[in-house]
Amino acid sequence: MKLGAVIITMGDRPDELRALVDSVAGQDGDPVEVVVVGNGAPVAGVPDGVRTLDLPENLGIPAGRNAGVEMFGPAGGDVDAVLFLDDDGLLPNSGTAELVRRAFEEDPALGIISFRIADPDTGLTQRRHVPRLRASDPMRSSRVTTFLGGASAVRTKVLEQVGGLPDAFFYAHEETDLAWRALDAGWMIDYRSDMVLHHPATPPSRHAVYHRMVARNRVWLARRRLPAPLVPAYLGVWILLTLLRRPSAPALRAWSAGFREGWATPCGPRRPMGWRTVWRLTRLGRPPVV
């Protein structure tokens, strides 16, 4: 199985980027082809043999990753699976690529793998990095209903069949949009605790657009992918959860503005999942209302 890796960067982490690229080059088995995408910044300081793509402006995470995939041919067709890796991450184990190959080869229905993210200093995995509701034991691998975008592997047949990440999302929930489409097409998603990406334990709210994008894109996600009766239930649950977390006044204002924007702006084509997929998500432990 031929693997590629897509890394997007804004040029502000040159040391971390080089360490990540080196960790990919150090994987056992056949070499992993690497594409580094400069998202509004030129790529510099990568080894020879690494393909680069300089985008003239920051197009956001999903569009940047999609552009990287296209460097492997339409929908990444020149490779069998693509690793998506954050540029401040690191693969600490040289056997990760071989584990990915084996997982896809042994399970033809497996479309996406979500890695375990661990803090490089403590080795701990935050609950938010375990893509399921029962997240207390990050060492337990399982089937899941979404994945972590910067620590994952996606079979290119999935991208060929259901399309790539939604460009317009820019940041937040783009993985769930792709995951729901993949599940609706019959693919499965695994969280694997033995496939590890080291990544600093930084809060997602460090991004200035975090609260607005999280709210806007959640509305878009519901409008695009959920059967009509589930849209108010899904959004109602997330309004309640947001308020229970007691965000600061500025954060709540940004979240409210994003929520309104999600209703006022086009969300892209509406292709809701089938009720059979709703039942599948429910059986996997996460019905699409939370």
SS3 letters across 191-256: EEEEEEEECCCCCHHHCCCHHHHHHHHHHHHHHHHCCCCHHHHHHHHHHHHHHHCCCCHHHHHHHH
Is 241 among the domain residues?
A: yes
Is 47 among the domain residues?
A: yes
Nearest to 277 by CA among 237, 234, 218, 225: 225
Is 178 among the domain residues?
A: yes
Decide: 35 and 6 in contact? Cβ < 8 Å. yes
The answer on 131 and 69 residing in a single domain is yes
pLDDT in tens for each of the 290 residues of the chain? 999 999 999 999 999 999 999 999 999 999 999 999 999 999 999 999 999 999 999 999 999 999 999 999 998 889 999 999 999 999 999 999 999 999 999 999 999 999 999 999 999 999 999 999 999 999 999 999 999 999 999 999 999 999 999 999 999 999 999 999 999 999 999 999 999 999 998 777 656 689 999 999 999 999 999 999 999 999 999 999 999 999 999 999 999 999 999 999 999 999 999 999 999 999 999 999 98
Is 75 among the domain residues?
A: yes
Which residues face 110 on adjacent strands? 188
- What's the domain count of the chain? 2
* Single-letter amino acid, residue 258: G
Is 279 among the domain residues?
A: no
Task: Classify 266 as helix, strand or coil.
Answer: coil
Question: Which of 157, 185, 202 is where one domain is finished?
Answer: 202
Nearest to 180 by CA among 141, 226, 244: 226
Tokens coding 169: 């999302």
Q: What is the pTM of this model?
A: 0.96
Residue identified by tokens 């699976």 is 81
> Kindly report the CA angle at 103 between 102 and 107, in degrees rounded to 5?
115
The answer on 157 and 25 residing in a single domain is yes
The answer on 210 and 198 residing in a single domain is no
Question: Which of 185, 202, 219 is where one domain is finished?
Answer: 202
The answer on 149 and 239 residing in a single domain is no
Q: How many helices (H) and strands (E) does the chain have?
A: 9, 8
Say how far apart CA 157 and CA 77 lie, in whole Å. Answer: 8
The answer on 159 and 247 residing in a single domain is no
DSSP E strands: which ranges in the chain?
3-9, 33-39, 51-55, 81-86, 110-118, 142-144, 151-155, 188-198
Is 234 among the domain residues?
A: yes
The answer on 187 and 164 residing in a single domain is yes
Say which CATH number the domain at 186 has.
Answer: 3.90.550.10
Residue identified by tokens 């071989």 is 98
Rg of the chain (C-alpha set): 18
The answer on 231 and 118 residing in a single domain is no
Is 278 among the domain residues?
A: no
pLDDT at 209: 86
Is 145 among the domain residues?
A: yes
The answer on 157 and 243 residing in a single domain is no
Decide: 92 and 196 in contact? Cβ < 8 Å. yes
The answer on 146 and 91 residing in a single domain is yes
The answer on 119 and 19 residing in a single domain is yes
The answer on 106 and 44 residing in a single domain is yes
User: What are the two backbone dihedrals, phi and then psi, of residue 30, each rounded to the nearest 5 degrees?
Assistant: -60, 145
Q: Is 246 left (phi over 0), alpha (psi -120 to 50) or beta?
A: left
Question: Which of 202, 231, 254 is where one domain is finished?
Answer: 202
pLDDT at 121: 93
Host domain of residue 251: 205-270
The answer on 159 and 18 residing in a single domain is yes
